């Protein structure tokens, strides 16, 4: 079984043609939406994108998990969806941006090295990291800017 969860950033509810936008044409996302589940009535726990992601990853309120701002650490030991899926024998990868910062102080206190398997997963919200960039990937005529 494969699960592909796409979390958009700064996308209005109707900015897909499958959602009824009169001018935007998004055939690839429309095809994915047709084959899967498209949530049309959703709410977020935080207007800050990083904190909102941490709420989804942990299933908890921002006031509970503590990562209430972009770049603010998710405390060591917080269980995320990546941790739960791994217990079921699934690989759990993260691609793109999260605005998550590792809890370096908590990791140091517990003796977790960032280059160990457990330390790396703690530093990546419980996921294995495929590719991550919390900035913008800018491509121009000469390649990556």
Residues tagged active-site: 49, 99
H helix runs in 88-141, sequence order: 104-110, 117-123
Q: Are 82 and 76 in contact (CB under 8 A)?
A: no
Helix then strand count (H, E) for the chain reads 6, 4
Q: Which residue has the tokens 């079984």?
A: 1
């Amino acid at each position: 079984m494969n699960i592909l969860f796409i979390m958009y950033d700064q996308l209005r509810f109707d900015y897909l043609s499958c959602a009824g936008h009169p001018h935007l044409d998004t055939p690839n996302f429309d095809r994915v939406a047709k084959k899967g589940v498209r949530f049309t009535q959703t709410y977020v726990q935080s207007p800050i994108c990083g904190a909102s992601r941490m709420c989804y990853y942990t299933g908890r309120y921002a006031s509970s998990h503590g990562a209430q701002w972009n770049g603010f650490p998710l405390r060591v030991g917080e269980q995320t969806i990546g941790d739960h899926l791994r217990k079921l024998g699934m690989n759990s990868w993260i691609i793109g941006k999260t605005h998550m910062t590792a809890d370096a102080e908590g990791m140091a206190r517990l003796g977790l090295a960032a280059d160990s398997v457990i330390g790396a997963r703690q530093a990546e919200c419980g996921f294995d990291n495929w590719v991550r960039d919390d900035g913008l990937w800018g491509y121009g005529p000469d390649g990556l800017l």
